[in-house]
Amino acid sequence: MSGLPRSSHALVTGGGRGIGRAIAAALTGAGATVTVLGRNAATLEEAVSAGAAHFAAVADVSDEVALRAAITKAAERQPIDILIANAGSAESAPFAKSDAALFARMMDVNFMGVVHAVRAVLPGMKDRPYGRVVAIASTAGLKGYAYVSAYTAAKHAVVGLVRSLALEMASTNITVNAVCPGFTDTDLVADSIETIVKKTGRSREQAITDLARHNPQGRLVTPQEVADAVLWLCGDGAGAITGQAIAVAGGEI
């Protein structure tokens, strides 16, 4: 695997835990300066203290003004070469009970959060000799799942954005891709497991098995496996890879 250009600065949204933290740690280990951004200052600072990142920035990705201010401050420290738009949330409900507010919440965080972050970094990134944008979407951006129509719609929107933006950036130094994990062993999936347990009366083990059955390998993906895919896309050797939505899902897609 080709490494990262020297002195790269990576910004990882939702970087305090789960997939985001694993990505931040992988980029740090590869030699990048890493800023993790999220809503929980304590979680972010813990990631910095543990060596997974160098700096923390607090903002809600659905708040364009606050996000832009946080990214501007991070870029003043060092121009941003890599954006990992990872922040997201998931809510489940039958479509009949998925009201406009639910759809708005899912779009605001999972889609517009990506839009806001990209808009904030792109002007400066165009002036750099190297640029990488990686959105963490989901297999829900490549197929349908029952009872998460709003989340699935938002992730499909992310994949569409990536494909279109990649074409606009093709004549520049910037590549734009999506990584689409299947069910991954994170706090977010743990919350889904607890919801299944409460709503169905199944045991936690049964709930995990129910989610893992989507993966032909019969297991949950690990955050490190997602991070490894992201690290490859950010490296020198992936310069011809753009506009892709890469599934990390054990053959589900």
Please give the positions annotated as active site: 151
CA distance 218 to 227: 20
The type of residue at 189 is: V
If you ran DSSP here, which 8-state letter would residue 94 be given?
Answer: -
Cβ neighbors of 124 (< 8 A, separation 6 or more) are 75, 79, 80
Backbone region of residue 123 per phi and psi (left: phi > 0; alpha: psi in -120 to 50; beta: other values): alpha
- Give strand ranges (E) for 65-201: 82-85, 131-136, 174-181
Q: Fill in the amino acid letter for 79.
A: P
What whole-number distance in Å separates Cα of residue 220 and Cα of residue 182? 8
Residue 21 identity: R
Which residue, among 18, 13, 250, 8, has the nearest Cα to 134 in the 3D structure? 13
Enclosing H/E stretch for 13: strand 9-13
Tell me the DSSP string of 43-77.
Answer: HHHHHHHTTS-SEEEE--TT-HHHHHHHHHHHHHH
